[in-house]
Amino acid sequence: MARETADREAVIQQLRDVGLRVTGPRLEVLQVLAAKAHLDVESITEEARRNLGTLTSQAVYDMLRNFLETGLVTKFERPGWPAVFEIAGRPHHHALCTRCGKVANVEAIAPSPPRKGLSGWKVNEGELIYKGTCPECRKN
């Protein structure tokens, strides 16, 4: 119980730090993402509804847009599957299962941008995406 209170207080402070009003739905969505990363909008909505009762997918989309704009969450696009979201943290890369769409965080150092082929570009960041088959899909 003490941990839940501390986690809740941390989420409240995160919302305040970025200038967003603290509401029950916002708290719940952030707590869902803090508990489990790489969830799509429908999964976030289902999890949050368990504690809130009612919550629309559109409301979750709107919250996620605000969270993205303020840097609270990040979005990972999965070709062929819905995008997934996670609480923003240390920069990292991802592995993507090409069978089921599962995403895992990967700690790796991205190579420097190539000197040729990006003439005139200002590269802000790079991301590695490892594509393959997750352990669960390999078993099947």
- Please name the residues in contact with 30: beta carbons below 8 A apart, sequence gap of 6 or more: 11, 14, 15, 67, 72, 73, 87
Closest CA to 73 of 122, 38, 115: 38
pTM of the model as a whole: 0.86
Tell me the pLDDT tens digit for each residue of 59-93: 999 999 999 999 999 999 999 999 999 999 888 99
- What is d(CA 86, CA 108) in angstroms, rounded to the nearest whole number? 18
Are 12 and 22 in contact by the 8 Å Cβ rule? The answer is yes
Instruction: Supply the DSSP string of the chain, one letter for each residue.
Output: -HHHHHHHHHHHHHHHHTTPPP-HHHHHHHHHHHHSSSB-HHHHHHHHHHHHS---HHHHHHHHHHHHHHTSEEEEEETTEEEEEEE--S--EEEEETTT--EEEE--PPPPPPSSS-TT--------EEEE--HHHHH-
Tell me the pLDDT tens digit for each residue of 27-56: 999 999 999 989 999 999 999 999 998 999
Tokens of 127: 């991301």
Residue-averaged pLDDT of the chain: 90
Taken in order of first residue, the domains within the chain and their CATH numbers are 2-87 (1.10.10.10), 93-139 (3.30.1490)
- pLDDT at position 7 is 75
Closest CA to 34 of 25, 44, 42: 44
Q: In this structure, what are the phi and psi dihedrals at residue 19, rounded to the nearest 5 degrees?
A: 85, 20
- pLDDT at position 4 is 58
